């Protein structure tokens, strides 16, 4: 995973974690925030 992609994932995760909290944030939330499928987050 490139540095730019990692930054994009971390930014989306931060947004979701602050919005939904740690217990309610899912990979689907992070992927949706990024505008990609859940499997694309892992690439």
pLDDT of residue 41: 92
**With a threshold of 0.85, does the pTM exceed it?**
yes
- Please report, rounded to a whole number, the percentage of residues in the chain having pLDDT higher than 90: 88
CATH number for the domain formed by residue range(s) 3-41: 1.10.10.60
Give which of 20, 23, 43, 2 is closest to 12, Cα–Cα.
20
| Separation of alpha carbons 34 and 43, rounded Å | 13
pLDDT of residue 43: 82
pLDDT digits (tens, 9 = 90+) for 17-37: 999 999 999 999 999 999 999
**Phi (first) and psi of residue 26, to 5 degrees:** -120, 165
| Separation of alpha carbons 26 and 30, rounded Å | 7
Give which of 6, 20, 3 is closest to 34, Cα–Cα.
6
Domain residue spans of the chain: 3-41
pLDDT of residue 17: 98
């Amino acid at each position: 995973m490139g540095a730019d992609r990692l930054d994009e994932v971390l930014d989306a995760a931060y947004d979701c974690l602050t919005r939904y909290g740690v217990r309610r944030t899912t990979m689907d939330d992070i992927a949706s925030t990024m505008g990609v499928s859940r499997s694309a987050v892992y690439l």
